[in-house]
Structure 1
Amino acid sequence: MMLSSGNDPKPMLLKFTDGGVDQRHTLEAVKLANICLFKEFNLDLLIHARCAPGHSYTNPAERVMSILNLGLQNVSLERKPCEKKIEDALKNKNSMAQVRAFHEENPNFRIRQGWTESLEEVKRTIQNRFVRLKRKDEPVQVLDPLSDQDIEVMKRHLRELFPDMDLTKLQKTHTRKIKSYQDRLDRHCKSTQYVFQIKKCDNVSCCIPPRNPLPSWLPDPQLDATGEHYLPYSEVRGKETTEKDRPTLKLLKKKKPLVPAEEPAEGVDCSTVLTNTCKNVDVLGYIEEPQSTPSLCTVQNARLIVDCIECRKPRVVYSKYRLTERQQYSIVCDLSELEYTCGSPILPPSNPLYKTVMARSTITCQSPVELSYYRSGFGHANLCSYCCGEGEVKVNPPSCDVIHFT
């Protein structure tokens, strides 16, 4: 959404996306893409936001999926076969990442051109069905992807702003070492879990003067005095806010001491009263669930790996008993529809395995990867436990000043 003020061209861009991998603004590659967009259109302010996990019903980018699914009813899709040598090369490729890697290793193989021609008819069929749909009487628009020339035009901004940055390595492990990039983030950007913002500064030697007075940052959600509702935008506009009221912020639970509900009668064993009348209740009022036992969180009980939607760190799923193939399928189906965050239950209470499988409830997104992850053999053994960078780690202190060897 582009906003303008008066007769000026539109100097502000607001983006509200679904938070997928290509639009997750916590990733450095997406931040850099927004910086390119900010420079290319000479914007005064860019806001890239997404909704909290589990609240997709408030996100238009997610809600439109139900409309798009109508256009895919009663339609079968099949791509046109490529040349035999290309089909043979694609036979063992199970993901687009593998196809891209093969293309980079064999640039003269013409696999990209053959793959694009093979999918052209499929793309045209889907496009023709989508453009016939409407949302609130507004027709659905289908945009063509950027060409290689357009991408190169956008990348030139990165080369000008960060000449010492390797554009093939846009992970945080590498970008955190680029001083010019970190300085720009400090001067022009504000990044939170749900919003990434860019705006011009007052230094004319750095930025073209803005067309309008610089707006304030978009504030974070803040709870009112009751703690049950969020303050309206009019009350928090222009104020310094924090993420303390973020919906998915996980706090470590502290257990209250076990105290008997009443004074035991004379001659009654106090331990009996404690056993019968007390429960482990944390300061937030949640009763400790029976599956959240520390003795269960061992490498022998590790069954699966699930990725946190917030920090992208792998978390281990534990179960006392070995899972059958049917149980594993049930868990995978539920995980594909739900979004897991560190410290939350793996499955909804409606699932029969709710009390059978678990992940640690005392971890947060700031917690390192568990030791049982490396010992279980389910994931990459060379994954950094703090930043999740891949490669052989030589040094790994808590500050995550790691050295990765590729």
Structure 2
Amino acid sequence: APILLRMEYHDAPEQEFVAPSRHKLHLNVFAGITVQDELMGVPEAVGFSGPTYISIRPSRHQTSSFAAFSAMDLERLMWLPSFQDMMRADGKLKPVLMLTVYGGPDESPRYPKTIRQAVHMFKKYDIDAFYMSVAAPGKSISNKVERRLAPLSRELFGVVLPHDPFGSHLNDSGAIVDHEMETRNFEYAANVLCETWSRFVIDGHPVVVEYVAHKGEDLNFENSIWYTNHVRESQYFLQIVKCGDISCCAPMRSNLKNVLP
């Protein structure tokens, strides 16, 4: 008898995200944006080019949040040669840090885990100001990371990621029976991606890709008084700025107060 098939298309909202399956690889993409000093003060100074960093993790072994992974990757950028000029000055992390995020799970500025990681980095590296923003619905197309993903996706045409180079870690029912072999198989597939993308150059800037096996750590933050004096949050924006009390915060390393009094 003939089989009748029916297909319906569903347009998911921009801010609707699906958590990756545990049998997939999770990619975290950072796009550095260079600022032209000679155009400082005009919007054209901020372009779309810069170095790219991608971390790859097996989703199955994620026991901490995406916020913890992103914080760990952000600290990793401090030591990458391609991000040195952008992240560091005089051997320290630059005093003002500005991030734009896509607003996915545990990534949006309004999520507590994201705020805890931001506060931890703010204190650890003596940052004057930490700003994180997310595009409003309908405006995510302006996210500069999207422009990096297009050429990277084209590089995967014809690339096959083997799922069992060291043997199958699944039984006939599809259940995992060998966790050690599963880890080795995932790492092999991730390294194929690393080799493919690491050869790529976007607008003259390198692409650094790494397989990350170790896990991030979720943090707790209980000092509500400190939070009230330093943190401002909304659905689309997170701001953490030093206060004027030298018994609480170290003196500012930048002239931010002259720009934003």
Q: TM-score range by the shorter chain?
A: 0.5 to 0.7
Letter in 2 for 1:208: A
Partner of 2:98: 14
Distance 1:116 1:41, change over 3 A: farther
Residue aligning to 2:208: 141
Q: Aligned pair count?
A: 177
Q: Is the 8 A contact 2:194 2:210 kept in 1?
A: no
Change (3 A) 1:215 1:118: farther
Deviation, structure 1 residue 44? 1.3
Corresponding residue to 1:63 among 147, 158, 182: 147
Aligned-pair distance for 1:214? Answer: 4.3
Choose the corresponding residue for 2:252, options 188, 205, 210: 210
Uncovered stretches (5+) of structure 1, i.e. residues with no partner: 94-108, 163-177, 217-236, 240-406
Q: CA 1:17 to 1:36, structure 2 compared with 1: closer, same or farther past 3 Å?
A: same
| 1:127 is the counterpart of 2:198 | no
Question: 1:28-63: per-residue Cα shift (whole Å, max 9, x none)?
Answer: 111112222222322111111222222233111122
TM-score by length of structure 1 reads 0.37
Instruction: Look up the equivalent residue of 1:137 and give its one-letter code.
Output: G
1:81–1:87 contact (8 Å) kept in structure 2? no
Computed over aligned residues only, the root mean square deviation of the Cα atoms, in angstroms, reads 3.5
Matched, 1:191 2:258: no
Decide whether aligned partners of structure 1 residues 129 and 83 sit closer, same or farther in structure 2, where only a CA change above 3 A counts: closer
- Give the aligned partner of residue 64 of structure 2: none
| Mapped contact 1:81–1:118 kept (Cα < 8 A) | yes
Contact 2:198–2:207 (CA under 8 A) maintained in structure 1: yes
Q: Which has the larger radius of gyration?
A: 1
* Aligned equivalents of 1:89, 1:48: Cα separation in 2: 46
What one-letter code is carried by the residue in structure 2 that aligns with 1:130?
A: W
Residue 238 of structure 1 deviates from its aligned partner by 4.2
* Residue 25 in structure 1 maps to residue 148 in structure 2: no
Distance verdict in 2 for CA 1:115–1:22, change over 3 Å = farther
SS at match of 2:149: helix
Question: Structure 1 residues 8, 121: CA separation in 2 closer, same or farther (over 3 Å shift)?
Answer: closer
Residue from 161, 175, 183 that aligns with 1:116:
183
- Does the alignment pair 1:200 with 2:242? yes
1:189-223 CA-to-partner distances (Å, cap 9, x unmatched) read: 1212222121222222322222124448xxxxxxx
Q: Report the equivalent of 1:79.
A: 163
CA distance in 2, matches of 1:42, 1:78: 44
Aligned partner of residue 48 in structure 1, secondary structure: strand
Paired residues of 2:100 and 2:133 also in contact (CA < 8 A): yes
Identical positions, percent: 25
The whole-number CA distance in structure 2 between the counterparts of 1:196 and 1:143 is 28
Which amino acid is 1:210 matched to? M
CA separation of 1:129 and 1:201: change in aligned 2, threshold 3 A: same
Name stretches of at least 5 consecutive residues in structure 2 with no aligned partner.
1-31, 33-85
How far did 1:8 drift?
7.5
Residue pair 1:25, 1:31 contacting (<8 A) in 2 also: yes
Give the distance between the partners of 1:28 and 1:89, measured in 2 at CA: 41
SS of equivalent to 1:54: coil
> SS of the residue aligned with 2:131?
strand
Q: How far off its partner does 1:66 sit?
A: 0.8
With over 3 angstroms needed to count, the CA separation of the structure-2 counterparts of 1:238 and 1:122, relative to structure 1, is same
